[in-house]
Amino acid sequence: MQTTCDVCGKPAVYFDNRSGKGYCALHFRQMLEKKVRKELRKQGLSQNERIVMGISGGKDSLVMMDLLWRVEAPYHVELIALTVDEGIENGQYRGRRMDLIKRMAQERGIKHEVQSFRDKYGFTLDEAVQFLGGKEEPCTLCGVLRRRALNDYAKGLKATRLAIAHNLDDEAETVLMNVIRGDAKGLMRSENYAEDLYDYYVPRIKPMRTITERESAFYAYLIGVPPEEEECPYARLSLRDGVRSFLEDLEEKHPGTADSMVKFGENIKVKGKRVDRSFCSLCGYPTSKGRDICRVCEIKGMMREAEERI
Ligand SMILES: [Zn+2]
Ligand SMILES: [Zn+2]
């Protein structure tokens, strides 16, 4: 194992067990900034954009905020941090990170907006899980509702892009989850929204897509982001959690597994193909072909029914 920085020869503080390279703190940071720059170019980011960043308070989201700020500050790119409070009371999971987000945004001169499920839908995630938990996995409910909330608030803020802090390992998990669910369409579906959907959705970017969980964790440590004291109380119940442990184990024994999984996912995507779709009869948003109402309206409807029964 290398004990010196591959770039400058000073003592290394980080080792990449996939490439066998060592990095000092300075060159580790530069390596990640370079990855983000390259990824933003690849994803078609130009100047004069207004990027709304989805900032949950998790380490990846705070690392993304810092990296985007470093990489984009010299250009005419406006950054806004957006936190959607799902309303998870258990252990005040979200509250404790809110002060950290506020402080980090303020230090970087970034505006911070907070919105909530309660404002958007009239109910919290806790209430949704309480009423619908038997039918739906909490992470599925949260995912559907958070995705729409982030998008709609970003749209309200006139964002040209919505930045999501998924890292390489998250992307690998998503590929494997599609395989486990037998969801071939999910695997093949392109990441980007077709242009005819821009009226509904703010185009998304994933600046951290090539940054590993381990790299993100070390960068978080370097910029003084404390480890999360508690994870989301619902995470343990999810398929993603099982897939994560499995991939972590494989990555440890076979470095590069996550990279291969993401590459596989990219290779299998069908590019430029028009997807057949329907439009929701209630909210008008696009939904899967053959559906009358979208998943968000379906969940809202089930919540109304559940509330009427009490
Ligand atoms: Zn160095
Ligand atoms: Zn709808």
1 CA to centre of ligand 1 in angstroms: 16
* Per-residue confidence band for 66, with pLDDT thresholds at 50, 70 and 90: very high
CATH code for the part of the protein at 36-275: 3.40.50.620
Helix count (H) and strand count (E) of the chain? 12, 9
SS3 126: helix
Higher pLDDT, 43 or 5: 5
298 CA to centre of ligand 2 in angstroms: 7
286 CA to centre of ligand 2 in angstroms: 8
How does DSSP classify residue 11? Answer: B
Q: Rounded to 5 degrees, what are φ and ψ at 30?
A: -65, -35
Protein residues within 5 Å, CB atom, of ion ligand 2: 280, 282-283, 294, 297
Q: Which pLDDT does position 191 carry in this prediction?
A: 66
pLDDT above 60: residue 137: yes
Locate 292 and state its tokens: 């009358």
Higher pLDDT, 231 or 281: 281
Q: Which range has the worst mean pLDDT, 41-55, 134-148, 272-286?
A: 272-286
Burial bucket for residue 101 (CB in 10 Å: 0-12, 13-18, 19+): buried
pLDDT exceeding 90 applies to what percent of the chain?
A: 65
Q: Rounded to 5 degrees, what are φ and ψ at 136?
A: -130, 145
Which ligand is the nearest neighbour of the Cα of 148?
A: 2
Instruction: Give pLDDT tens digits for 79-133.
Output: 999 999 998 876 555 666 889 999 999 999 999 999 999 999 999 999 999 999 8
Locate 94 and state its tokens: 């979200």
d(CA 92, CA 122): 20
What value does the CA radius of gyration of the chain take, rounded to a whole number of Å?
A: 20
Which ligand is the nearest neighbour of the Cα of 295?
A: 2
pLDDT above 60: residue 283: yes
4 CA to centre of ligand 1 in angstroms: 8
Higher pLDDT, 272 or 135: 135
Q: Domain extents for the chain? A: 36-275
- pTM for this entry: 0.91
